[in-house]
Chains A and B, each alone.
Chain A
Amino acid sequence: MSKQVPETIKKQAKRSFNSKEVKQEKNQKRMKLLKEIHEKAYKRAEKYEKEYLEQEQKLVELKQKALKEGSFYREPEPKLAFIIRIRGIVGVPPKPRKILQLLRLRRIYSGVFIRLNKSSLRMLHFIDPYVTWGYPDVETVRALIYKRGHARVNHQRKIIDSNEMIYDKLQKYDIVCMEDLVHEIFTVGKNFKHANSFLWAFKLKPPVGGFSTVKKSFVNKGEHGNREQYINTLVKKMI
């Protein structure tokens, strides 16, 4: 006597969303998408490398030109800053506490990118004693996002382990891969807000070699406040 398959199972097998064909189709679509993303990622990375190089060279050119003419070249003010909280949570007055919360710097050695404009500069002014910040270069931004970049996915902190993750969330802002993300952050593009909020606040390690004194500002041989390009060396020690 042949083995009788229960009717419900037969019916279930017939239904579309369970069938092998549909699953295969989905899988194929996904593979295709991944290939697309891969190709895009390659091309865009190439493009951005050129772009960064060009930017550097341009800067040098303009400076040299100015020197020749005997004038000065005023570089554009930095648009991007990386802030690291270097003081703990005990004994912080309400206003700085609130600002630190708004900037997602909720714990010590957490770091975030921020767009520099008048409003954010004023915010930074209030939290100067609790943070150190500066202007990161491409390699720093890259290192942070590649090594310590976690995405906010479904209200969860998940490490960015594939470009697919970025595609799913940021495709509508034309950010499909890591290099896109880096570019958007570094050049503070149109969708900087979305790229930045996609990233969870960076959790950094205490710096190798330590701090001198957090109580003083960087300018006074301490550590807090604006340290402009020296943020890059600090991040290297903390990443």
Chain B
Amino acid sequence: MTTQQLRPIVSVFPIKGKVKTIKQVPLPSVFSAPIRPDVVRFVHTNMAKNNRQAHAVSTTAGEQTSATSWGTGRAVARIPRVKGSGTGRSGQAAFGNMCRGGRMYAPKKVWRKWHRKINTNQKRYAVCSAIAATAVTPLVMSRGHRVNKLPELPLVVSDQLQSLTKTRQAVKFLKFIGAYRDVEKVIRTKKTRVGQGKYRNRRHVLRKGPMVVYARNLGIKKAFRNIPGVETASVYTLNLLKLAPGSQMGRFIIWTESAFKLLEDIYGSWEKPSKFKSGFYLPRPVMVNTDVERIIKSDQVQTVLRNRRPRSRKYGKKIQRADPYEDMSVMVKLNPYYKTKLQKQKELDEKNKKERKEIVDKSRKEYEDWLYFSEEEEEEEEEGSDEDREIEVLSDEN
């Protein structure tokens, strides 16, 4: 939009003979307008209200009695009751919306706001969106049009179409170009309307078929008039209600060449305003490039991003570690010296134990020796004098 736009080429087809390109025209800028279903929906719902006819309930409906409430004390509800006697109607409840034959709740008035004003720019925005959508095949198909056999979409056809006068010619053309399948659909699915419209002069319901847009009416209107489902429209007065029926974008449109070219003038572009709508430029999209994924993955973005922060999974999860005093592997992980320490302690303990044992053994031995020695002494000294024995005993003790 801000730069010189490269406009794609669209083929123009003849109306009879062979289906091949006779000419090529550039795609008008309208077809690159932003497709905004929300805008179209808003404008459509409001626009559709504008062809309504006022209706209301009679102002006197349900009020044409002189009913009065009987008040309390009569074992009946306090609703106003019809006066008089001699008829079944007397004493019956009246006036309330809950009463039989009473006035409805909030009787409809004619001065209800039937029509809606829509900002001109919004209307134009919606129409631009709708026109742009007619060139998007998936949208047209999803709207329900049978466009498989078409040579191209948008379908542009030579201006000779505008000069057709006979319906037979028109049908022949539609068949030639591959658009008749859509018409067949319409014919096939003509049904009686569901609901009360059927006996209110709206008996049949038809689908929408192709729409033929022309620049000059040289008979084309009448030629296509009687074909079920087909509508014609002048390019100067494209109606959103026709371009997006039911606020569903993607009507199948057959453009004549001059109508197609005129779109550039009628709707303008982002650089040049419209020639017919004063001061109107094509709406600008919020995003020029809507392929967000591609933008994010592009080199220009990716090279400027900082590196992904490493997810510290190591302490991310709730790790239940075993008690290091019970699980040796955990202990060693935390304190690699632990095993050595235990070993050293063990050695030390053993050493101490050994030393202690030696000491104990030594003292025990000494004691036993003394005991043994003293026993021997006793035996030897059985015959000797008491005095001698005593002395010897004493000396051994020392």
Q: Which residues of A contact B (CB under 8 A)?
A: 8, 11-12, 15, 17, 38, 41-43, 45-46, 49, 143, 146-147, 153-154, 158-165, 177-179
Decide if A8 touches B297 in the complex (CB within 8 Å): yes
Of all chain B residues, the one with the shortest Cβ separation from A15 is B302
B319 at the interface (CB under 8 A from A): yes
For the complex of A and B, the 9 pairs showing the least CB-CB separation, nearest first, are A45-B337, A161-B321, A42-B336, A8-B297, A178-B334, A17-B307, A146-B324, A42-B337, A158-B315
- Residue in B closest to A179 when the chains form the complex, CB atoms: B335
26 contacts between A and B (CB under 8 A): A11-B299, A15-B302, A17-B308, A41-B336, A42-B336, A43-B337, A45-B336, A45-B337, A45-B338, A49-B337, A146-B324, A146-B334, A147-B324, A158-B319, A159-B321, A160-B334, A161-B319, A161-B321, A161-B330, A161-B333, A162-B333, A162-B334, A164-B314, A165-B314, A177-B334, A178-B335
Is B396 among interface residues, defined by CB-CB distance under 8 A?
A: no
A8→B336 CA distance, assembly (Å):
47
Interface string of B299-326 (1 = CB under 8 A from A): 1001100011000101100011101110
A143 to B325, CA, bound (A): 8
**Given A146-B331, A147-B325; A12-B337 close (CB under 8 Å):** no
- A46-B340, A147-B324, A147-B325 given; A8·B334 CB < 8 A: no
Which A residues lie within 8 Å of B314 (CB)? Answer: 162, 164-165
Give B327-381 interface residues, CB cut-off 8 Å to A: 330-331, 333-338, 340-341
> Residues 245-266 of chain B: 1 if any A CB is under 8 Å from the residue's CB, otherwise 0?
0000000000000000000000
Residues of A within 8 A of B302 (CB): 11-12, 15
Sample of 11 further A-B pairs with CB below 8 A, known A15-B302, A45-B335, A146-B335: A8-B297, A42-B336, A42-B337, A42-B340, A45-B338, A49-B341, A143-B325, A146-B334, A147-B325, A162-B314, A177-B335
Q: Which residues of B contact A17 (CB under 8 A)?
A: 307-308
A49 to B343, CA, bound (A): 13
Which residue from A12, A42, A46, A147 sits with its C-beta under 8 Å from B323? A147
Residue of B nearest to A44 (CB): B337
